[in-house]
Amino acid sequence: MAVNALHATVIKAFRDRLANLGINPLEVIATASLGRGATGSAQSPPTAHEILETAVAMSGDTTLAIKIGNGLDLAGYGTYGFALMSCSDMGAALELFLRYGQTFAQSCSWHRSISKDGIILRLQQDTGTSYQKMLVTELAFSQMHFASKLLIARPAEGITVSFSYPKPAHFGVYEKNWPLPMEFDQEHTQIFMPDQWLRQRVRTGDSKTNVLFSQQCEELVSGMTKVDETTANVRRLLIHSAGNFLSISGVAEKLHITERTLRRRLTAEETNFRTIFDDIRNTLARNYLSKTSLSVVEIADLLNYSEATNFHRAFQRWNSTTPADYRQQASA
């Protein structure tokens, strides 16, 4: 299965956390591969479930999964982590998590459903033994709980948790780390989050920077993230330089090629620098209009327009509507 750039960052954060706990991630992967025996394909790498179980066995610490999740700092996730930290509230952070984050294991996923006075997040695992699933659950939940504390630094009031497995022998660690109502032997592993908790403001929230980081996440998981595509590299550099956009010569310098070579490569990909630049500015403009309360003048300045009227004309050319009308339609 292909791994996009954002998922690769999450995997790196997991490996770094193992190393910080005194566990060699390469040894864990090698041991997990050897331990597959006849049950695993020699052509495929070990699953996240197998890697986590191997790490626990090698450390001799049955609570290792919880310790890993408790130390996965958001900054270690790069663009995705900064996008979370710049969200306006926990509801927005949850939306971003469901779109880009999830767990480090591709065979796991969180599914949301609407409940009375809140939402329910249900963890689904498509592979692994019962023990492996418990370990991944511990990692995923501790990771989510730790991130929540970093974002709002307040008790998780109103949140309740259900686990599909029996109460473990190390339940005391659960109580110490997660002072929440918990139930075991339930039909599903899930978390209930009340509306009042979802409305809590993120301490480091900033709608302006959130637009940039969220768009960078979108680029990382989109089909335009292949490193051999010049177009993708140009888009990435332009988004990173938003607010003081690079010129074509500046982009060429960053890519360590001449401007002429850059133009030739873009032509081979049936595009050009101006088209990419306009697309990036239009994408950011629409996000600013729909996701922030920034004025048109402020947005024009962020997109490097010397006059708001120039931005107004460009936006209308791109979208066949005015910025004001677009914002009204997005709000509706």
> pLDDT tens for residues 49-81?
999 999 999 999 999 999 999 988 888 888 899
Do 308 and 186 lie in a common domain? no
For tokens 């998590």, what's the residue? 97
Mean pLDDT of 206-216: 90
CA 126, 130, 133, 137 torsion: positive or negative?
positive
pTM of full prediction above 0.85: no
Instruction: Give dist(CA 202, CA 85) in Å, integer.
Output: 7
Residue 263: count of CB within 10 angstroms of its CB? 16
In a domain, residue 150? The reply is yes
Overall number of domains in the chain: 2
Same domain, 27 and 111: yes
| Whether residue 176 is found in the same domain as residue 233 | no
Matching residue, tokens 């984050």: 101
Q: Name the residue range of residue 14's domain.
A: 5-198
The answer on 37 and 183 residing in a single domain is: yes
Residue 124 pLDDT > 80: yes
Partners of residue 134 on adjacent β-strands: none
Q: Give the model confidence (pLDDT) of 147-166 as tens digits.
A: 999 999 777 789 999 999 99
CATH value at residue 25: 3.90.1520
Does residue 135 sit in the same domain as residue 260?
A: no
Confidence (pLDDT) at 48: 87
Give the tokens for residue 143: 């990771």
- Alpha carbon distance 272, 238 (integer Å): 13
Burial (CB count <10 Å: 0-12, 13-18, 19+), residue 129 = exposed
Residues 146 and 46 in one domain: yes
Instruction: Answer for the pair 202, 93: CB distance below 8 angstroms, yes or no.
Output: yes
233 DSSP 8-state letter: H
pLDDT of 38 reads: 47
Please check whether residue 220 lies inside any domain of the structure.
no
Whether residues 158 and 106 share a domain: the answer is: yes
Give the C-alpha distances (Å, rounded to integers) separating 307 from 3, 119, 214, 301, 311: 42, 44, 26, 8, 7
Three-point CA angle 157, 108, 90, nearest 5°: 30
Distance of CA 175 to the CA centre of its chain: 28
155 and 235 assigned to the same domain: no
**pLDDT 10s digits, 162-208:** 999 999 999 999 999 998 999 999 999 999 999 999 999 999 999 98
Q: Cα–Cα distance between 181 and 175 in angstroms, integer?
A: 9
Residues 11 and 141 in one domain: yes
In a domain, 216, yes or no: no
Instruction: Tell me, yes or no, whether 212 lies in a domain.
Output: no
Nearest-angstrom CA–CA distance, 9 and 150: 19
Q: How far apart are CA 263 and CA 267, in angstroms?
A: 6
Beta bridge partners of 112: 121
Same domain, 160 and 62: yes
Query: How far is CA 67 from its chain centroid?
Result: 21
Domain assignment of residue 110, yes or no: yes
> Tokens 């292909």 correspond to what residue?
2
In a domain, 211, yes or no: no
CATH code, domain carrying 288: 1.10.10.60
Residues 249 and 182 in one domain: no
Q: Are residue 25 and residue 170 in the same domain, yes or no? A: yes
* DSSP single-letter state for residue 271: -
